[in-house]
């Protein structure tokens, strides 16, 4: 069979979900639960499920938010709040097995192109099987994009002068080699985010020394990796389903308070965060230099540090902080702008991600390329003029998965509404009252400004200044608003 014949014989589904990470598996669950008559497939590039938790294999890889809220609302989490990638994969594996989702997932299916036909009201998808190299073709009435937000094959490493001179190894944590020998080696970890804070303590005991080199400091919340309320309820023999719900509510209530406080009294919150670090490192440590960020709390994700392990490494003399800028790489290590030279056998660049908008797929409408940067987002999940497609982009300040469940309910309601009304397509469009609405970049840098978003803002859809036309990043608002969205609002154009 030639490619044209194969394309003509493309397998059809009511819904295709792209990606089998925490979003795609959640989407599959909700679809099966709330729209049992929709035939669907989950197409996933990698050889297994898990997305982020499968891709990242560096030592110590763990969540930085609690699993009571990072877990789905429908499957109780029964372990310690902060979980390793393996524990998250086990949890997701149980969701797949318990709900027989495996029959819907096609692994090694990398989707490369998607074209919407206005005449047929279907998406035609094209991809490649990563194991055989064979081309694959599908059609779908509805496309549910759960492809995450970054390039899975390679992390972001800035180009520094002299990198080629360095005689040791330069490794990005996202592509950490399985058998990397760091025993008794001097390691520099460049970065100050959650990855650096996880990796450094995980390897410190085995290395000769780990230096965390950061340009500027980050906020951390140190604390015990336990949830007192959950433990207490377990002692009382309460059912795990109840514990999950109660503990989620408590955590979300506290996070809401914390978020509001960080806007209303940033100085007090800042002092509390720094005070907790000071408790670990003592009064003589230079907290100002190494742990006092220049930005307001909550403008970037704040990582929880279980048992303050990074600070314990510092206290034990196995890890140290350097806050400085890189002048260049040298044969032996890194020359800093201050003049100091750091020596290393291995340099780990925990410098973030390459943003990948919509899975790197070439989207078109009747053969005309779609430029997402020219579209306006409907609540950070749909795009003006792009029919029958929803994207899951979770929360930064709350667990990503909270939005997976909320959008899951929305999509299922929308699909059921379309079926009941016999309509074939829906696309958001600006309404008359939106005609003079200012169009702004995807996210307000004053509100949240991680590097991978700032570097790629020009590729992302635009937002308006009303909650309908932006990803508000506000779980507490959305949990009230999303279930009440009027599907007959003029923002939805049906055909
Ligand atoms: C190290 C690390 C720790 C994190 N910790 C937390 C945390 O504690 N709490 C939190 O809320 N968030 C955290 N995040 C953010 C995290 O990425 C999300 O919370 C969540 O895991 C994203 O899930 P996802 O399913 O949307 O995307 P991903 O996990 O990125 O999964 C997307 C999947 O789609 C597949 N895919 C992509 N493109 C295609 C294509 N074209 N064709 C087929 N398949 C495709 C990918 O292979 C991948 O498996 C963390 C991120 C990282 C990198």
Q: Quote the pLDDT of residue 446.
A: 74
Shared domain check, 142 and 173: no
Answer with the one of 304, 330, 351 that is the final residue of a domain: 351
20 Cα to the center of ligand 1, angstroms: 9
Residue 356 has pLDDT above 80, yes or no: yes
Q: Token digits for 186?
A: 């001097």
Average pLDDT value for residue range 360-381: 97
Pocket test for ligand 1, best of 16, 18, 19, 248 (most atoms within 8 A of CB): 19
Nearest CA to ligand 1 atom 37: 147
What is the number of the ligand 1 atom nearest to the C-alpha of 51? 49
Tell me if 414 CB under 6 Å of ligand 1: no
Give the chain's radius of gyration (CA, Å): 24
Full domain range(s) for residue 82: 3-152+354-494
Q: Quick one: which of 50, 55, 53 has its CA closest to 25?
A: 50
Domain annotation covers residue 358: yes
DSSP string, 262-293: HHH-HHHHHHHHHHHHHHHH-TTS-HHHHH--
422, exposed or middle or buried, with CB in 10 Å at 0-12, 13-18, 19+?
exposed
Query: Quick one: how far is CA 27 from the chain centroid?
Result: 15
List, for residues 421-466, the tens digit of each pLDDT value.
Answer: 999 999 999 999 999 999 999 888 777 777 777 788 888 999 999 9
User: Angle at the Cα of 9 (from 420 to 49), degrees rounded to 5?
Assistant: 70
Q: Quick one: which of 99, 92, 63 has its CA closest to 80?
A: 63
Average pLDDT value for residue range 342-361: 95
Q: Quote the pLDDT of residue 41.
A: 98
What is the spatial distance between Cα 138 and Cα 203, in angstroms, rounded to a whole number? 45
Tell me if 20 CB under 6 Å of ligand 1: yes
54 Cα to the center of ligand 1, angstroms: 9
Q: What percent of the chain has pLDDT over 70?
A: 100
Identify the bridge partners of residue 491 per DSSP, sorted by sequence position.
Answer: none
Tell me if 360 CB under 6 Å of ligand 1: yes
- What is the DSSP secondary structure assignment for residue 353, as one 8-state letter? -
309 Cα to the center of ligand 1, angstroms: 25
* Contact call for residues 127 and 112 (beta carbons, < 8 A): yes
List, for residues 285-310, the tens digit of each pLDDT value.
Answer: 999 999 999 888 877 778 889 989 99
Shared domain check, 132 and 21: yes
Shared domain check, 369 and 467: yes
List, for residues 204-239, the tens digit of each pLDDT value.
Answer: 999 999 999 999 999 998 999 999 999 999 999 999
DSSP string, 88-136: HHHHHHHHHHHTTGGGGEETTEEEEEEEEETTTTEEEEEEEETTT--EE
Domain annotation covers residue 480: yes
List, for residues 3-17, the tens digit of each pLDDT value.
Answer: 787 788 899 999 999
Cα–Cα distances in Å, from 16 out to 138, 146, 411, 423, 465? 9, 10, 13, 18, 31
User: Angle at the Cα of 361 (from 357 to 363), degrees rounded to 5?
Assistant: 100
pLDDT band at 49 (very low <50, low <70, confident <90, very high): very high
pTM of the model: 0.96
Q: Quick one: which of 144, 42, 53 has its CA closest to 91?
A: 53
The enclosing H or E element of 317 equals none
Domain annotation covers residue 72: yes
Shared domain check, 483 and 461: yes
Q: Quote the pLDDT of residue 302.
A: 83
Shared domain check, 175 and 147: no
Tell me if 301 CB under 6 Å of ligand 1: no
Average pLDDT value for residue range 402-427: 98
What CATH number is given to the structural domain containing 230? 3.50.50.60
Domain annotation covers residue 158: no
Q: Quote the pLDDT of residue 2.
A: 78
Tell me if 44 CB under 6 Å of ligand 1: yes
Q: Quote the pLDDT of residue 244.
A: 98
What is the spatial distance between Cα 259 and Cα 168, in angstroms, rounded to a whole number? 42
Tell me if 106 CB under 6 Å of ligand 1: no
Shared domain check, 456 and 335: no
Nearest CA to ligand 1 atom 4: 63
Shared domain check, 430 and 322: no
Shared domain check, 370 and 441: yes
Q: Residues with Cβ < 8 Å from 444, sequence gap 6 or more?
A: none
52 Cα to the center of ligand 1, angstroms: 4
Pocket test for ligand 1, best of 400, 453, 475 (most atoms within 8 A of CB): 400
Q: Quote the pLDDT of residue 228.
A: 97
Domain annotation covers residue 443: yes
Q: What residue has token string 């524990």?
A: 87
Q: Quote the pLDDT of residue 394.
A: 95
Tell me if 174 CB under 6 Å of ligand 1: no
Cα–Cα distances in Å, from 272 out to 262, 275, 278, 282? 11, 5, 10, 15
Measured torsion, CA atoms of residues 35, 41, 42, 46, in degrees rounded to the nearest 10: 170
303 Cα to the center of ligand 1, angstroms: 17
Tell me if 313 CB under 6 Å of ligand 1: no
Q: Residues with Cβ < 8 Å from 10, sequence gap 6 or more?
A: 124, 125, 137, 138, 139
Shared domain check, 468 and 438: yes
Q: At what angle do helices 22-34 and 85-98 cross, to 10 degrees?
A: 20
Q: Residues with Cβ < 8 Å from 283, sequence gap 6 or more?
A: none
Shared domain check, 358 and 347: no
483 Cα to the center of ligand 1, angstroms: 24
Domain annotation covers residue 18: yes
Tell me if 148 CB under 6 Å of ligand 1: yes
What is the spatial distance between Cα 291 and Cα 375, in angstroms, rounded to a whole number? 39
Domain annotation covers residue 157: no
Q: Residues with Cβ < 8 Å from 302, sequence gap 6 or more?
A: 218, 219, 220, 221, 273
Mean pLDDT of the chain: 95
Tell me if 136 CB under 6 Å of ligand 1: no
Nearest CA to ligand 1 atom 16: 52
What is the number of the ligand 1 atom nearest to the C-alpha of 404? 26
Shared domain check, 97 and 187: no
Q: Quote the pLDDT of residue 445.
A: 77
Nearest CA to ligand 1 atom 22: 148
Tell me if 70 CB under 6 Å of ligand 1: yes
List, for residues 133-185, the tens digit of each pLDDT value.
Answer: 999 999 999 999 999 999 999 999 999 999 999 999 999 999 999 999 999 99
Answer with the one of 305, 329, 351 that is the final residue of a domain: 351
Task: Mark residue 367 as left, alpha or beta (left: phi above 0; alpha: psi -120 to 50; beta: remaining).
Answer: left
Domain total of the chain: 2
Domain annotation covers residue 440: yes
Pocket test for ligand 1, best of 137, 148, 255 (most atoms within 8 A of CB): 148
Answer with the one of 290, 316, 351 that is the final residue of a domain: 351
Average pLDDT value for residue range 259-270: 91
149 Cα to the center of ligand 1, angstroms: 7
480, exposed or middle or buried, with CB in 10 Å at 0-12, 13-18, 19+?
exposed
Tell me if 85 CB under 6 Å of ligand 1: no
Q: Token digits for 31?
A: 């679809």
Tell me if 23 CB under 6 Å of ligand 1: yes
Q: Quick one: which of 105, 107, 109, 116 has its CA closest to 137?
A: 109
Shared domain check, 192 and 135: no
Q: What residue has token string 């399985």?
A: 178
Q: What percent of the chain has pLDDT over 90?
A: 88
What is the number of the ligand 1 atom nearest to the C-alpha of 22? 25
What is the spatial distance between Cα 477 and Cα 474, in angstroms, rounded to a whole number? 5
């Amino acid at each position: 069979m030639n490619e044209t014949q194969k394309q003509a014989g493309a397998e059809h589904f009511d819904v295709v979900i792209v990606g089998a990470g925490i979003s795609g598996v959640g989407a599959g669950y909700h679809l099966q639960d709330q729209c049992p008559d929709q035939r669907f497939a989950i197409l996933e590039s990698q050889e297994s499920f898990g997305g982020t938790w499968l891709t990242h294999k560096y030592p110590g890889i763990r969540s930085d938010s609690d699993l009571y809220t990072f877990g789905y609302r429908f499957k109780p989490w029964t372990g310690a709040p902060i979980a390793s990638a393996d524990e998250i994969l086990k949890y997701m594996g149980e969701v797949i097995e318990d709900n027989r989702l495996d029959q819907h997932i096609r692994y090694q299916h990398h989707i490369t192109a998607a074209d919407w036909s206005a005449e047929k009201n279907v998406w035609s998808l094209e991809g490649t099987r990563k194991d055989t190299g064979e081309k694959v073709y599908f059609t779908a009435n509805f496309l549910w994009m759960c492809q995450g937000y970054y390039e899975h094959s390679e992390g972001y490493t800035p180009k520094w002068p002299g990198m080629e001179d360095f005689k040791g190894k330069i490794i990005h944590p996202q592509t950490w080699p399985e058998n990397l020998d760091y025993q008794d080696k001097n390691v520099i970890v460049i970065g100050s985010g959650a990855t650096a804070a996880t990796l450094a303590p995980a390897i410190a005991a085995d290395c000769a020394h780990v230096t965390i080199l950061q340009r500027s400091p980050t906020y951390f919340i140190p604390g015990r990796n336990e949830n007192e309320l959950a433990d207490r309820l377990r002692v009382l023999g309460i059912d795990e389903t109840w514990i999950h719900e109660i503990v989620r509510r408590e955590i979300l209530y506290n996070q809401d308070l914390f978020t509001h406080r960080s806007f209303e009294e940033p100085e007090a919150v800042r002092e509390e965060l720094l005070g907790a670090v000071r408790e670990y490192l003592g009064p003589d440590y230079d907290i100002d230099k190494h742990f006092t960020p220049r930005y307001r709390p909550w403008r970037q994700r704040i990582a929880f540090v279980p048992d303050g392990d990074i600070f314990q490494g510092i206290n034990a003399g196995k890890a140290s902080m350097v806050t400085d800028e890189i002048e260049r790489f040298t044969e032996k290590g890194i020359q800093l702008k201050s003049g100091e030279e750091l020596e290393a056998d291995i340099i780990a660049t925990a410098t973030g991600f390459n943003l990948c908008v919509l899975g790197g797929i070439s989207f078109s409408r009747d053969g005309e390329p779609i430029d997402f940067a020219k579209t306006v987002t409907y609540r950070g999940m749909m795009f003006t003029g792009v029919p029958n497609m929803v994207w899951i982009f979770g929360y930064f300040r709350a667990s990503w998965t909270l939005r997976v469940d909320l959008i899951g309910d929305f999509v299922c309601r929308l699909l059921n509404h379309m079926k009941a009304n016999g309509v074939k397509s829906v696309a958001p469009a600006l309404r008359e009252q939106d005609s003079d609405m200012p169009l702004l970049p995807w996210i307000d840098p004053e509100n949240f400004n991680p590097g991978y978003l700032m570097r790629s803002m020009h590729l992302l859809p635009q937002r308006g200044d009303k909650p309908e036309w932006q990803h508000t990043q506000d779980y507490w608002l959305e949990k009230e608003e999303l279930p009440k969205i009027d599907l007959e609002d003029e923002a939805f154009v049906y055909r």
